[in-house]
Each structure stands twice: as C-alpha cells, then as structure tokens.
Amino acid sequence: MSADSHTIEHCRSCGGRDLRPVLDLGKTPLANRLLDRERLGEPEPTFPLAVVFCPGCALVQITETVSPEVLFRDYLYFSSVSDALLEHSRRHADALVASRRLGRRSRVIEAASNDGYLLKWFQPHGVEVLGIEPARNIAAVAVERGVPTRADFFGLETARRLVAEGLTADVVLGNNVLAHVADLNGFVAGAALLLRPGGIVELEFPWVVDLVDHVEFDTIYHEHLCYFSAHAIDALFRRHGLVLSDITTLPIHGGSLRVTGARAADAEKGLGGGRVGKARVDELMALERRRGADKLAFYADFGARVRALGDELRAALARLKSEKKRVVAYGASAKGSTLLNAFGIGREHLEWVADRSAAKQGRFTPGTHLEIVPAERLASDRPDVALLLTWNFKDEILKQQAAFRAAGGKFLVPVPRVELV
C-alpha cells in the first residue's frame, strides 16, 4: 500500500467482509499512465491487481483502490476517437429522445461525460445537457465543442450542489463509469437524488458474464474497480430506492449491459421500462441464476483459463519470431496494458504499437515501454503481423486498416482466443 492507494477489507457495495479470491494478476503499472520519453528511466509505480467475489451481493471487484486524483485528473482517453462508439452513442441518444419524449424542457446529466461524445447527440433535439467530467483536460475539450461540462467527480456531494442550483434531470447517464467508482453507494445515491419525477438513471458497463465466458481478463485494470452482473446492480439500486426497471445486453466492449433504474413508485406506474422492461430484467436475472453468476463457483476456473490463454499467446508470438516475422501491436489501450504486463509480453516480442489517438502518439506504454506511433505506420512500414490489443473494436479496425491487410499484413487477435486474421 502507498499514499496513492489502499487495499479494501470489505465489499465496495454491501460492506460484506467475506471476499473470495478469483484472480491475481500480480503488480502492474497504471494502464493509462503513458510515459514521455524523458520519464522512461524513472521508477514506475505498480499496484496489486487482484480480483475477489462478494457472496453477499454477487459483486466482483478488485482489492486495490488507487486514488482517483492519480487516475483521472489528467487523462488521455478520448471517446470520440472511436467511430463505432460515436455511432453507438448516437443511437442511444436518439432512442432516449424518442422513448422518454425529451425536448426543450428536458435535461440530461451525464457523469464521466468525457469529451461530450454522447451528450452532443441530444443537443440537436433541443435537450439541455450537462456533463460532469473529472479529467480537466478532457472537460475543457468538451466545453470547446459546445457541450456544457463541469470538471468534477460525480457523487452524492456533487449531486447535492447541483440540486441546490436547481439542476435536476429527466435522465441521468453514466456510460462506462460505474466500474471506475470507489464509492458506489455515493454515486447511485447522487444519481437518484438528481431525478425529476418520472426520471430515470441509465448506466452502461461490461457484463461480468461475458467477461468470464470470453476470458476478457484484460478488461481488468486499476481504473475498473468493479465488474457487474444484473444481480449486483439490482442489489446496489435497491439500497438507494431505485428499482432495476429495464436491462439490455449490448455487444460493445466485448459484451455490456445497459441498465435502467427508476424510483419504485415510478416503476410501478410503468415509467421506467414498463412490462417489457420488467420482463427483460426477469429473463436476464433468471439466466444469471441458471449460469450461477451469483455464486463463487461460476468464477472458480477463470484464473486457470487466463493462464492458459497467456501460454497460447506467448507460443504464437514465439512461432512468429522463429519464422522471422516482424510483429508490432495495434491499440495503446488500457486493455493492452493489462494483457502485455500480465503475460510478460514486451519489446522482445513487439517493435512498437500503433494508435489512432494523436494524444497518445509519441509516448510509451506503461511497464513495457513500447513507442506509440500513428496508425498509418502499419501501411507505410508493412510489418507482417499486428497484435490487436483493442480487440473490442476489431471490425472497425480491420476496415480502417484495409491497406495494411491488402499488402499482406495480418492481425493477431488475442481474446477470446488467439487467432490470426
């Protein structure tokens, strides 16, 4: 433990102390702490990355909490870089405008709104929006793009300040943020507090069932404190007067859930999802019970499957090296940082890593110190194989890199199984 982190002794959601081990990836650097060339010789902080299961509320979580000030105040992940994510967000906004009948008298507030990639789609409909984004550099970009944004962490105290200003919401959004939050109860209590009568909270996050089924262990890093099932989110919502009123499975990020929470009285009136929403919730909860996702046994062999995947990937890279193939990587992502550091893959296997984000280019990956170069380098330099670290956007990247592939280049996809395409 250091001044920048602490190890939990009880569940982040229900407070239970009976936390059962699931997976231990050892000590790893912070996944998004990309290095400048000048810092390559400096000691690099690492933190334990171990996963546990809480039998009391079925929440899967890591044991180490790194200070959010360390993780998020200066951040290099811009959501707008991904065309697929932008299109996903546009469809999400349009669906909410239609289903919730949002218009000029409506307000949508989003926690961890990044560069405004989602909120901007509500603005053409006349909907008032407000983003709450802790990374000051990214909040500034959102404001420049015309999306009102406050540089702050979202939680109960922030919500109270907003309510005091009269800033309540018809919809409170949190896409891929709840997993990042140490104070789960404060976050959900704050979201509930912001709701106008008939309002909803809608959240997206990776679904732990898909994570386990597809060995998506690289979704695990210090920013992602929790990995949710429908059972875990239902227990969390109920603690703060919300009912899980609708739920949808999504393919994005390797398999995600979009969950809707409404006040109990509103849910009874059908304002949170109605009969259709309740039926979807009941169906998914039943599926999780059949699979055993609310019990420790479901996660028992996850660690062994991760180790087997690592063995398979290292063997594939060794074969390519023995064949004198030039191998690089694509995607200087947080997922990639976990995979490379956990599996011991670095400069002896890969020459460099290409990435589309200009904010990352010229820096170096955490722990492995691979130089990050523009995505166009694949087509111009023509390596034989690129290890696809951003496999969750595989289809998008394969299309973008048509020139590289036409010249004979191949991608090595590491998850859910090692595959050369």
Question: CA–CA separation, 8 vs 127, rounded Å?
Answer: 40
**Is the pLDDT assigned to residue 9 strictly greater than 80?**
yes
Name the least confident of 79-93, 166-180, 346-360, 395-409.
Answer: 79-93
Query: Is 302-420 in the same CATH topology as 79-298?
Result: yes
CATH 3.40.50.720 is right for the domain spanning 302-420: yes
Give mean pLDDT, residues 176-185: 93
**Average pLDDT value for the chain:** 93
pLDDT given for residue 274 in this prediction: 84
pLDDT of residue 75 exceeding 70, the answer is no
In this prediction, residues 32-50 reach a mean pLDDT of 93
Q: Could you give the dihedral angle defined by the CA atoms of residues 122, 125, 128 and 129, in that order, rounded to the nearest 10 degrees? A: 10
Dump pLDDT digits (tens) for 292-319. 999 999 999 999 999 999 999 999 999 9
Q: What does the pLDDT average to over 318-344?
A: 97
Residue 79: the pLDDT is 61
pLDDT in tens, 248-273: 999 887 889 999 999 988 888 877 77
When pLDDT is cut at 50, 70 and 90, the band that residue 135 belongs to is: confident
What the block records as the tokens of 352 is 């460099």
Residues facing 259 on adjacent strands: 203, 247
Task: Give the pLDDT confidence score for residue 265 in this predicted structure.
Answer: 86
Query: What pLDDT is attached to residue 81?
Result: 63
Burial class (CB in 10 A: 0-12, 13-18, 19+), 48: middle
Angle between helices 156-164 and 184-194 (to 10 degrees): 20
Q: Which of 69-78, 345-354, 390-399 has the lowest mean pLDDT?
A: 69-78
Q: What is the pLDDT of residue 251?
A: 87
Domain parsing of the chain, residue ranges: 79-298, 302-420
Per-residue confidence (pLDDT) for residue 1, from 0 to 100:
45
**The domain made up of 79-298 is a member of CATH 3.20.20.70:** no
pLDDT of 73 higher than 80:
no
Q: Does the reported pTM lie above 0.75?
A: yes
